[in-house]
Structure 1
Amino acid sequence: MKKILFSVLCCSTLSAMAQAPSKEVLKYVKPLIGTARMGHTYPGATVPFGSVQLSPETDTIPYEMNGRYNGDVYKYCAGYQYEDQTIVGFSHTHFSGTGHSDLGDFLIMPTQGKLQLNPGTAANPETGYRSKFSHANEVSEAGYYKVKLDENDIIAELTATNRVGVHQYTFNNAGDAHIILDLMSGIYNYKEKNTWTFVRVENDTLITGFRQTNGWARTRTVYFAMVFSKPFKQYGHEKQDRQVYQGFWRKFDQSKNFPEMAGHNIRAYFDFDAKAGEKIKIKFAISPVSTEGAMKNLVAEAPGFDFDQIKEEARASWAKELHKIDVNMVSEDEKTNFYTAMYHSFINPTTYMDVDGQYRGLDMNIHTAKDFTNYTTFSLWDTYRAQHPFLNLVQPTRNADMVKSMLAHFDQSAQKMLPVWSHYANENWCMIGYHAVPVIADAIMKGNAPFNAEKALEACVTTARHRTYDGIGYYMDMGYVPEDKNGSSVSKTLEYAYDDWCIAQVAKKLGKNDIYEEFIKRSQNYKNVWDASIGFMRPRLSDGTFRQKFDPLKTDGQGFIEGNAWNYSLYVPHYPAEMIEMMGGKKQFAQHLDSLFTMHLPDEFFAETEDITRDGIIGNYVHGNEPSHHTVYLYNFTTEPWQAQSRVRMILKKMYRPTPDGLGGNDDCGQMSAWYIFSSLGFYPICPGSQEYQLGSPAVKDAKLKLENGKEFVVEAKNQSDANVYVQKVELNGKVLNRRYITHEEIVNGGKLVFYMSAKPNKRV
């Protein structure tokens, strides 16, 4: 009987091991990629789409600005720059790859010796609790971060669950130890009165509280529950808020061992006696709703203090997600690029609700997500292009929940608009367009719509008819946004026209012919900012004339945003053939693309740019800014598709490297990474809302996409090498594919796509 039982247990264990995805793939994830220069990624611990992003802060901005705005806030969007040599502490919330800053909530820092409650400076870290560190003593992996803090010889280790950040600090020296909880510290909260905090000491191991900020998000509240693995012997906080000590509260000495702390500038500390080699652990849960919600999250996700177990669970969650695509590449570096891109694309959007489904809505009321996971961090001007189409393909359930989150946002919006750039129950109104629309349309048109599609269409239409929003009234009346009435007018006209085409496609599919006719007409508005006399899109004024003072190479004040006329004149993804005809036909258009990639820009164009390749520019092609991401694939609509093939491979090499400065621009919540993944696989969605992916030149040797419907889609590149960048022919399921695109249906139905590669172009295709 015992032998039988032992045999059953062995079989069960082996079965479980066989089902668990191999963690071998994790060695190809390097979160330090993009942490230098403009990549704006962070190296700390998180899980896929997790609420917590527990990562080190190296910036000096909040402490050395003297209450004044400093442009370096942009540099520290993720709180960390690889070139820095000191760490201030470890915070629990971060953006990944953005061009704007916020978050950085609840900074924790371990110290020893004399208690210092100011952070010090990068030049003189010994004047505060800041510490020097070396990259030689730094480990950054999927779900895990480790670093040695040189000032006190403390080893800091971080891991996370979805809603809980887990710290482990090894004090190599015996003596007085302090854990500092800095609630002043934050990314972008550079004004003294922009933060209000509350801390409550429940007992000698449990702390609760909240942090309210007025930064990029106008009003943002995050609650927490913090548990120590060891009781502290005493605690206190810095006396910074005069008003806290006024009135009846003067009856207490609140600075030390007083269980409630409140104010704008709270830095609390908790003291311990540390033995040499002792580990003190912290579990820190966050909630958008309440301290009670944070406690529920803590109990549900991290009931124990086994740091290594939680770390392995985080690693297992990453292994599971990364194995949605198994790839073989030409080199180990390219494999690192690929899986790190997948890692970055699976960080955002982030979960925004407690384990019981409760979350704070845009109306600041508490809501419950009953049939979906509620998400936040919607950088939609960036992510509608490739990030959301990538999730729609390989993470369809999550992407559908993201659409449901957008529709909930619409319901809670006083303006009755879909999100533009939203996070933490706030709409930031950053960038242009109404690009929740193509995300919703892409889901509906590709059959991933487990939500009320008619209600979704209504939300899209209502948003697109919002006359008071960013020039839409002019756009509706005049067919374009006039530059003398509303800036960045050409970019807005072009992006609105594309969004309108997306609405028209959904309306047609749902049989709403009146809506279809309205928006298919609006989708033609790109023609109204085309100046045939100069061959570029050009800003028009409210009297109908084109603006006279105009330079197609410049961006500022020329009617564009994050691009110039050379880039934006190519932004008609919904009508590429018509755009090409308008620009003189296929031959002339191909020459225009050639010039874009090869032209030499004047020196003054790079006045603020140290290295044009690193900052995402090749010729006048700006890969670091999203409006250009579809451009190279437009060669497919000319007689020279081989040009797309060679240039895609060139961009992959120049803009992505397995180094801290290896991203040619902000990763923008996964958009840059999603471009890399699609292009490496050999196809790209130039027009989300369409079923088509344009074919390029794959960088993989082979790849297997494991789809949610249980089917597999295999990509194989025969004769693959760095030299063989041209495609001789393509076969789909054993038959020659005599077109330059593949459809979404063909991919999700499973099958095999084979590229035959060569060092010479096939100009007969």
Structure 2
Amino acid sequence: MGASISSIADSPPSPLIQTIGNVFAGATIPYGMAKAVADVDSESNQGGFTSEGGKVTGFSSMHDSGTGGSPSLGNFAFFPYASCAGDDVNGCTYPKSARKLPYINESVKASPGYFSIQLSSRVTVDMTAAHHTSLFRFRFPEGSDGSPLVLLDLTDLANSRQDNATIHVDGASGRMTGSARFLPSFGSGNFVAYFCADFHGANIRDSGIFANSRASADVKDLKISRGINGFPLPGGGFIRFASANEPVLTRLGLSLINSDRACSHAEAEIPNFDFDAAQKAAVSAWRSKLSPIKISTTGVSSSMLTNFYSGIYRTMVNPQDYTGENPLWQSDEPYFDSFYCLWDSFRSQIPFLTILDPQSVTRMIRSLIDTYSHLGWLPDCRMSLCKGFTQGGSNADVVLADAFIKGLKDGIDWDTGYTAVVKDAEVEPYDWSNEGRGGLDSWKALGYIPVQDFDYKGFGTMTRSISRTLEYSYNDFVISQIAAGLNKTADVEKYKARSSNWKNLFKADQTSLKPDGTDTGFVGFFQPKYLNGTWGFQDPLKCSNTDLDPNSICSLQNTAGETFESSIWEYSFFVPHDQSTLITTLSGPAAFVRRLDYLHNQNVTYIGNEPAFLTVFQYHYAARPALSALRAHAYIPASFSPTPTGLPGNDDSGAMGSFVAFAMLGLFPNPGQDVYLITPPFFESVSITSPLTGKTATIRNVNFDPGYAAVFVQSATLDGEVYTKSWVDHSFFTEGKELVLTLGRNESTWGTRAEDLPPSSGSY
């Protein structure tokens, strides 16, 4: 079997998965600030490039990955011309709406740290990246006459640039420096980004600025307003070269502090414009981060290998390490940005990194706590130095608790971290659309968030009363977990008691009808409740996959429903800490399994959204772990594959990637708890070496079936001893244990006794 062991070096990820929709496909390093790719004008260009056949508007160096909504970042794009008509700088087209060009589909190539594309003009653009610096290589068609021109545009992907963008072009060296103010894509406020562009290759002929559709080599400085018609005025700089016979290398340094710092980054990180060396360094950074995982390739298709490693790869594209680039406060602590959003990433992305890259998660936790220390609140979503919108609970609480119970330390101030999560639970912010929790008076007095709550202390969208109640319940439970570890006994009881508030919105006699009016056959669902204790009503299937009403909305609109981005049917399972009591509430294990089956079999759930993740594995809690294994194999590769349409929804900064990685690994977390639910890996063996302890944990399948018919655990051993529990804790990874699963084609009794079920705060 040793000859068939594979690592990241043997099975490189594909950044082009889901390039029809949101995923960043370009060149970056793990958690890097510089993210270089071709930007296109098609609908799902939130990550810059898509393979939907749009036209290329430019090549920019800042992006997020897998987000929905408005396009994110895409600042300071370059655009190349082999020559300008009439050998006149005004013979080139400058506004991006007019200059955009189709690209050659077959030319697109991407691998970790590298992206390449050819425009219909036959100009080829390669790019790679260091932490704060992108390097572009423009290659012009053979036989081109005239002077190539490269422009730098002061706009961004979303055309959000505000007033007073600036650029200075050095007439001697061609260096361009400047800045612009932009808006975040899913948050409040604005931010200023700075750049420093240098050029290398052919001799410089001239340089200058452009404004609107005209350019001049006689002007070297520009300060430009936003404009009045909803789009920023075109403006930027250009540089022209004497010959098109050799490539032009363009280096762009980035900073959120000032242009001098952007120049320093560029000079330090890519000093010699050596493209091959920069690309090699980027590849090395990825291999180093992903090297702890090794898998057996026996009988496994290359498609499965690519799917697995690509999922892991995407967990490290966001968040972005902006340490030293935060102008908002002075601190020696790390600063991470592009938490987009913790509502998405607390479920599996950050827990996955806690295994694979605990040092980086430790720095993320320190960053979150430092953000609290300076801004007064833990963020629930954060991008581009701005506060993002809160989607449900205060889910930084879960992120901190997950790291705490899994033993992360190394400079984390857990006392301050605990103060921060308690503030989420006890103090209502004025603007809870951006941080913390709303409705805390009702939460404490009534034990639920009422529909149409009377809340005069803070303000946010008065919706999502059911999903907020369920999330606040879990948020309070994880606070009790931290309290227990810090020996705060009174708080343990207080927050455990509040964690049972989910029960207060359960309506035992509530039925659920299908869209055609027939009964689903299930009774008992969460329902909205008013301040006076009377029940409201929301169709349990509203905002599910089966809801065909175009007026059904469950997001952040003022008219949205009482659940966020999903249905009451789906949220009926979101009691992660007390599955035993939930199962009893829903009429016992058999009925619970029938509900889960209905959720998945009748297309109620949408696996492309994060609330669906844990439901795939919740059969464990009803003593049917075999059915969790079946569900995982039903969704992979059917809904997750290494293709341009390979994800069922937005990747959400690697959330979908982490689902794939965990499911194929064979251990899925219940985040905020020290629990990994066991299902057979998709490989004969998987091993992960802990970066903290150096010890290697291994999961091995006996009777492994590459056709995946034998996916039922018949028996197991842990470090050579018979093991009957359907779960392991985090020490499996840190202590380097070995789990051996003997598989068969029929469901067995393994993991089904009450004492073998995963922990629950109630009793089975």
Conservation of the 8 A alpha-carbon contact between 1:26 and 1:319: no
Amino acid at match of 1:377: F
Specify the SS of the correspondent of 1:278: coil
Which residue matches 2:259? Answer: 291
Which residue matches 1:379? Answer: 341
The alignment's TM-score, normalised by the length of structure 1, stands at 0.85
Superposed displacement of residue 598, structure 1: 1.4
Aligned in 2, Cα 1:633/1:215: closer, same or farther, shift over 3 Å?
Answer: closer
Conservation of the 8 A alpha-carbon contact between 2:7 and 2:291: no
**Is 1:546 the counterpart of 2:535 in the alignment?**
yes
**1:428-471 deviations in Å (ceiling 9; x for gaps):** 22412111111111111111022111111001111222324333
Distance in 2 separating the partners of 1:27 and 1:269:
41
- What pairs up with 1:184-333 in 2 under 5 angstroms? 184=155, 186-189=156-159, 194=162, 196-202=164-170, 203-216=172-185, 217=187, 218-230=189-201, 232-240=204-212, 255-264=216-225, 265-329=233-297, 330-333=300-303
- What pairs up with 1:569-608 in 2 under 5 angstroms? 569-599=572-602
Specify the SS of the correspondent of 1:506: helix
Amino acid at match of 2:34: V
Specify the SS of the correspondent of 1:360: coil
Conservation of the 8 A alpha-carbon contact between 2:450 and 2:529: yes
Specify the SS of the correspondent of 1:622: coil
Which residue matches 1:452? Answer: 413
Distance in 2 separating the partners of 1:387 and 1:510:
26
Which residue matches 1:98? Answer: 67
Conservation of the 8 A alpha-carbon contact between 2:41 and 2:54: no
Which residue matches 2:357? Answer: 395
Superposed displacement of residue 472, structure 1: 3.0
Specify the SS of the correspondent of 2:684: strand
More helix by share: 1
**Is 1:436 the counterpart of 2:396 in the alignment?**
yes
Pick from 169, 190, 196: which aligns with 2:138?
Answer: 169
Pick from 369, 373, 378: which aligns with 1:407?
Answer: 369
Superposed displacement of residue 732, structure 1: 1.3
Conservation of the 8 A alpha-carbon contact between 1:180 and 1:269: yes
Distance in 2 separating the partners of 1:309 and 1:464:
50
**1:28-84 deviations in Å (ceiling 9; x for gaps):** 311110111x4x102210011101111111116xxxxxxxxxxx4xx3211222112
Which residue matches 1:89? Answer: 58
Conservation of the 8 A alpha-carbon contact between 2:209 and 2:219: no
Specify the SS of the correspondent of 2:617: helix
Which residue matches 1:424? Answer: 384
**Is 1:338 the counterpart of 2:308 in the alignment?**
yes
Conservation of the 8 A alpha-carbon contact between 1:691 and 1:743: yes
Which residue matches 2:464? Answer: 488
Which residue matches 2:760? Answer: none
Distance in 1 separating the partners of 2:498 and 2:383:
30
Superposed displacement of residue 88, structure 1: 1.3
Specify the SS of the correspondent of 1:482: coil
After TM superposition, the structure 1 stretch with the greater mean CA deviation from structure 2, 690-699 or 561-570, is: 690-699
Superposed displacement of residue 515, structure 1: 2.2
**Is 1:55 the counterpart of 2:37 in the alignment?**
yes
Which residue matches 1:359? Answer: 326
Conservation of the 8 A alpha-carbon contact between 1:719 and 1:758: yes
Distance in 1 separating the partners of 2:620 and 2:471:
22
Conservation of the 8 A alpha-carbon contact between 2:208 and 2:237: yes
Aligned in 2, Cα 1:695/1:176: closer, same or farther, shift over 3 Å?
Answer: same
**1:125-158 deviations in Å (ceiling 9; x for gaps):** xxx432221221111111001111221x211000
Distance in 2 separating the partners of 1:278 and 1:27:
34
Amino acid at match of 1:628: A
Superposed displacement of residue 551, structure 1: 4.1
Pick from 471, 478, 499: which aligns with 1:502?
Answer: 478
Conservation of the 8 A alpha-carbon contact between 2:33 and 2:320: yes
Which residue matches 2:457? Answer: none
Distance in 1 separating the partners of 2:274 and 2:10:
21
The alignment's TM-score, normalised by the length of structure 2, stands at 0.85
Q: 5+ residue gaps in structure 2? A: 86-90, 226-232, 433-437, 454-461, 511-523, 544-551, 554-559, 753-764
Aligned in 2, Cα 1:171/1:754: closer, same or farther, shift over 3 Å?
Answer: same
**Is 1:750 the counterpart of 2:736 in the alignment?**
yes
Distance in 1 separating the partners of 2:703 and 2:173:
65
Conservation of the 8 A alpha-carbon contact between 1:648 and 1:697: no
Superposed displacement of residue 195, structure 1: 5.1
Superposed displacement of residue 276, structure 1: 4.5
Distance in 2 separating the partners of 1:103 and 1:270:
21
Amino acid at match of 1:325: I
Superposed displacement of residue 90, structure 1: 0.8
Specify the SS of the correspondent of 1:103: coil
State, as a whole percentage, how many aligned pairs show the same letter.
27
Distance in 2 separating the partners of 1:171 and 1:566:
56
Specify the SS of the correspondent of 1:131: coil
Q: 5+ residue gaps in structure 1? A: 1-20, 61-71, 122-127, 242-252, 600-618
What RMSD in Å do the two structures reach over aligned CA positions?
A: 2.2
Which residue matches 1:28? Answer: 12
**Is 1:463 the counterpart of 2:424 in the alignment?**
yes
Superposed displacement of residue 321, structure 1: 1.4
Conservation of the 8 A alpha-carbon contact between 1:642 and 1:763: no
Conservation of the 8 A alpha-carbon contact between 2:94 and 2:234: no
Distance in 2 separating the partners of 1:297 and 1:120:
28
Amino acid at match of 1:401: R
**1:561-618 deviations in Å (ceiling 9; x for gaps):** 111011000000011111111111111111111111112xxxxxxxxxxxxxxxxxxx
Which residue matches 1:44? Answer: 26
Please identify runs of 4+ aligned residues in structure 1 that moved more than 6 A. 21-24
Superposed displacement of residue 259, structure 1: 2.5
Distance in 1 separating the partners of 2:615 and 2:356:
24
Aligned in 2, Cα 1:188/1:479: closer, same or farther, shift over 3 Å?
Answer: farther
Conservation of the 8 A alpha-carbon contact between 1:348 and 1:670: yes
**1:235-281 deviations in Å (ceiling 9; x for gaps):** 2333349xxxxxxxxxxx99543232111335334242353441110
Pick from 121, 143, 146: which aligns with 2:113?
Answer: 143
Which residue matches 1:6? Answer: none
Amino acid at match of 1:503: I
Amino acid at match of 1:459: A
Amino acid at match of 2:119: L
Aligned in 2, Cα 1:762/1:208: closer, same or farther, shift over 3 Å?
Answer: same
- What pairs up with 1:509-520 in 2 under 5 angstroms? 509-520=485-496
Superposed displacement of residue 187, structure 1: 2.6
Amino acid at match of 1:234: D
Distance in 2 separating the partners of 1:568 and 1:91:
39
**Is 1:159 the counterpart of 2:120 in the alignment?**
no
**Is 1:697 the counterpart of 2:665 in the alignment?**
no
Specify the SS of the correspondent of 1:434: coil
Conservation of the 8 A alpha-carbon contact between 1:691 and 1:745: no
Aligned in 2, Cα 1:655/1:549: closer, same or farther, shift over 3 Å?
Answer: closer
Conservation of the 8 A alpha-carbon contact between 2:528 and 2:537: no
Specify the SS of the correspondent of 2:240: strand
Conservation of the 8 A alpha-carbon contact between 1:30 and 1:140: yes
